[in-house]
Amino acid sequence: MSDRTHTVVDSPVGPLTLVATDGALSGLYMENQRHLPPVETFGEPDPAAFGDVRAQLAEYFAGERTEFDLPLNMAGTPFQLTVWEGLQEIPYGETISYGELAARIGREPTASRAVGLANGKNPISIIVPCHRVVGSTGDLTGYGGGLDRKRHLLDFERRSTMLV
């Protein structure tokens, strides 16, 4: 049986629930997020177990961190894991379309819908930057945390890159 713990931290996009499985981050969920697992699956509260995650998120929201360096424990299908790995390759402050992400992971552009579905099931938002994927016309489309949060994160990253 896996050892699961969780805590809730404040952020500029609202409370974030952090979940760890066997000591590695396995979930980062926003308040009222779609595809939110049942709270009873988050394990025991343990704020002390998330020091590195808290520190790196604070640096990110302060505009001081553009990449995360944390152990992750992501559970999903092989296709989902491939999509989530592809998300981590999207540079800070940039966006790509679902079709572009499909091509980057070696799939046909017609796989963009499947990529979108996998993107929407990403259990570690922000750190695995699913917010950086947009529609083929550049429009903001689907985000488990809501389009307002997606817009906030993208605008924040763009502003931060302009200050460098």
Kindly list the catalytic residues: 130
Which uninterrupted H or E stretch holds 104? helix 98-104
C-alpha 69/C-alpha 147 separation (Å) is 26
Q: Where are the beta strands (DSSP E) in the chain?
A: 4-9, 16-21, 24-30, 44-45, 96-97, 133-134
Chain centroid to CA 93: 14
Non-local (6+) Cβ contacts of 137 within 8 A are: none
Return the exposure string of 26-47: e unless at least 16 CB atoms fall within 10 Å of the residue's CB, then b.
Answer: bbbbbeebeeeeeeeebbeeee
Which tokens hold the place of 22?
């066997």
